[in-house]
Structure formats: C-alpha cells, structure tokens
Amino acid sequence: MFIDPISIEYSAPYYAAAIIFGYLLGSIPFGLLFTKMAGLGDIRNVGSGNIGATNVLRTGNRWVALATLIADGGKGAAAVLIARYFAGDTMAVLAGTAAFVGHIFPVWLRFQGGKGVATFLGLTLALSFPIGLAACATWLLTAAIFRFSSLAALVAAALAPVYFWLDDQWLVIPFSVFFAVLIFIRHKDNIRRLLAGEEPRIGAAKKQAGEG
C-alpha cells in the first residue's frame, strides 16, 4: 500500500521538486559520457546514434556497454528510492517517471536520448522488487527465445502494467502504461523492422564484425 507522509495541501513544492530532481538525474547521458571517457568517440555517430547500452555495445566494448546499462538502470532506481526516502511513495513514482522521461528527452542533448528500457527496468525494480524481477525475467526469456533485444523490451514493457495490476498496485498502473506507450513509440523503427523481418538478432552485429 502506498502511503504519503505529506499533506496534499502543502505538497505542490514537493511534487515539483520530485519531478525536477528525477528529470535531471534521468537526463544524465551515461552512454555518451562513458564512451567518450573510454576513447570510443561520440556514441551518437555509432550505429543507430542512440545513447543507450544496446547501441554502446556496437562499439565492441562490452564493459562500457555494461557500465551504461547499470548506470541507466541505476538512475531510475535512485530517483525512486531517494524520493521515497524523503517524501513517500507518490513522490517516488513521480520522480521515477521524470527520470524515465529525462533519459528519453534529455535537455542537454536537445531532447534526443535513449529508448528508456534500462531506466524503466531500474525504476520498476525500485518501485516493486518482485515486479521488477518479473519484468527483467520477461526480457531475458523473450530475448533467449527470439533473440531480438527490441522485442524483449517491448514484451517486458507491455506486461509490466499487467504485473502491477495483478499485485493491486493501482497507483503505479497508469504510470506503467505510460512507460509502455513511450517505449513502443521509441521503438517504432524496430517494430517496422521486426514486421519486415529486417531486425538484427542479438549477436548478429558481433558476428558480422568478426567476419569483416
């Protein structure tokens, strides 16, 4: 059950603070920062130009990609946990949502950010650890069966609201639907390639690079 210690009458500044804090934390472009620090250049000039871990992996550096994955997921989780500690669960949901939006639309990169999957999984784990684990397991199982990272993300995002619904977490359900819709929008090109049979499978880029 979600309980807030802050009276609704005096909560407006706290709502604003949670949203601003979450957005600024989520907008940190770890993929861009890590690739530059590793001497890999500007990740926006690699592959799809996305700043997320999947595109970072296309540089061939698995450790930088892993660091990006952890950091992008971590900022979503951190936004939720810090806001919950100081202001309660409603603020935690707002901060996590703002972090998700900040990752996808970072002001520092002219609102051209990642696709939000790692941040979504991180904040979902922080909102509800069992449901977060279920979402991660859904991603892993779908990826293992079909070998499409994008499809795994879409399935995990689509089922997350169902998991929250089954657990009667009514406050989070509308936000989880929002996450899913935005993830689907950000994956529109992937969906087109999946339908056309042109989406690369997990490991395909690495194989092609080895053959080259």
- Which single residue is written with the structure tokens 């979504």? 120
> For residues 199 and 49, which has the higher predicted lDDT (pLDDT)?
199
Q: In this predicted model, what pLDDT tens digit does every residue of 91-134 receive, in sequence order?
A: 999 999 999 999 999 999 989 999 999 999 999 999 999 999 99
Whole-number Å distance between alpha carbons of 115 and 68: 13
How far is it, in rounded angstroms, from Cα 197 to Cα 193? 6
Position with higher pLDDT, 88 vs 206: 88
Sorted by sequence, the CB contacts under 8 Å of residue 169 that are 6+ apart come out as 2, 127, 128, 131
Sorting pLDDT into bands at 50, 70 and 90, what band is 36?
very high
pLDDT at 131: 97
Phi, psi of 28 (to 5 degrees): -65, 115
Helix (H, G, I), strand (E, B) or coil at 82: helix
DSSP string, 20-77: HHHHHHHT--HHHHHHHHTT---GGGSTT---SHHHHHTTT-HHHHHHHHHHHHHHHH
Q: At 32, which amino acid appears?
A: L
Q: Is the pLDDT of residue 207 over 60?
A: no
**CA distance readout (Å), 70 to 18, 64, 65, 77, 174:** 22, 10, 9, 10, 26
Q: Quick one: CA dihedral 60, 202, 153, 44, positive or negative?
A: positive
pLDDT, the chain, mean: 90
> Is the per-residue pLDDT at 6 higher than 70?
no
2 or 50, which is more confident:
50
Percent of the chain with pLDDT over 70: 91
The band of 8, judged by pLDDT with boundaries at 50, 70 and 90, is: low
Q: Coil, strand or helix: which one is 172?
A: coil
Q: Phi then psi for 3, rounded to 5 degrees?
A: -130, 135
Q: What is residue 157's predicted lDDT score, i.e. its pLDDT?
A: 97
- In angstroms, the CA 202 to CA 190 distance is 13
Mean pLDDT for 167-179 is 95
Predicted model pTM? 0.88
- Taking 60 as the threshold, does the pLDDT of residue 7 lie above it? no
Residue 208 burial (CB count, 10 A): 10
> Mean pLDDT over residues 188-193, rounded?
95
Residue 210 confidence (pLDDT) above 90: no
